[in-house]
Homo-oligomer: A and B are copies of this chain.
Amino acid sequence: MNLDFEKPVSEIEEAIADLKAKNPEPSADVKAELDKLEASRLASLKSVYASLTPWQMVQVARHPDRPLIRDFLAGLCSEFIELHGDRHFGDDQGMIGGFATLDGIRVMVIGHQKGRTLEDKIKCNFGQACPEGYRKALRLMKLAEKFHVPVIAFIDTPGAFPGKDAEERGQAEAIARNLLEMAVLKTPVIAIVTGEGGSGGAIGIGVGDVILMLSNAVYSVISPEGCASILWRDGTKAPEAANALKITAKSLLDLKIADEIVPEPVGGAHRDYPGTMAATRKVLVKHLKRLQGLSSKKLLKRRFDKYAAMGRFR
């Protein structure tokens, strides 16, 4: 599925398909033409993705084919032992987790699950976790602390689930509790925003020693649509809001909120899973090795200093 702003690419792809259909057994000339078209397709893709607007990045971050947590687990980890439940109320499918092995390093993975099929998406609340999801994540983080393995938190959510039951079971408390506990969790935490970093629902598992973002991922205090409808009183002004909110990986690197950007392959993560995995693995492993070398005292001091400095401009 191509996005609206990928129209130049779509046109070339149509021309390629057209030429192929008309020439089931392509001559040398046609083949040369196809090669030319393919080169121009790539050039066009590169050019489109070189200058994505924040709002276009939102579209890429939400692309239906974008790799989800289970794709990362399959692509990055040689083993994943999923663990379930918050030991209080339920097992939220919108937040999953378990032990995993990445490049021989044993870790605890937690993260939002959006689901691929419609059935899955419904089960996962479209990646909007409930209080029991945040509590499951916390339980697993505490288990990681006890087992002396680092935590990797994969962030990809439109936000915490805004349901009646979720409020009643303490959505606010669950997120707040995680923020407090993660601040003093005695094991390294890497947060990586792979798609949408949706506000409180994202930060609820996002207190990392390192905050990574895929190059087309976005991270925002409010959805551009939500912001536009409040501040512009017009939901269609989402592109303006996306711009003003500074939600891209590049902007957040400048604001010293993101620590490093994981470069996506040309055309976005959804066009090249293996390329995305290779880039992600490289950055994760680098930070895992660096953080594992720190004493827990030093780790916690650095983490505190990092968050204490957030928004300190003088």
Measured between alpha carbons, how far is A88 from B87 in the docked complex, in Å? 11
Complex CA gap A89/B131 in Å reads: 10
Binding site for B on A (CB under 8 A): 87-89, 131, 135, 169-170, 173
Q: Give the oligomeric copy count.
A: 2
**Within the assembled complex, what's the spacing in Å between the Cα atoms of A135 and B173?**
15
Q: Which of B87, B169, B173 contacts A173 (CB 8 A)?
A: B87
Q: How far is the CB of A93 from chain B (nearest CB, A)?
A: 17
Are A89's CB and B169's CB within 8 A?
A: yes
Nearest residue (CB) in B for A168 is B89
**Which residues in B have their C-beta under 8 angstroms from that of A88?**
88-89, 131, 135, 169-170, 173
Q: Roughly how many angstroms separate A170 CA and B86 CA in the complex, as a whole number?
A: 11
Chain B residues lying within 8 Å of A173, measured Cβ to Cβ, are 87-88
Which of A87, A88, A135, A173 has the most chain B CB within a 10 Å cutoff?
Answer: A88
**Minimum Cβ distance to chain B for residue A132 (Å):** 9
Q: How far is the CA of A47 from the CA of B131 in the complex (A)?
A: 59
| Chain B residues positioned under 8 Å from A87 (CB to CB) | 170, 173
Bound-state Cα–Cα, A169 to B131, Å: 14
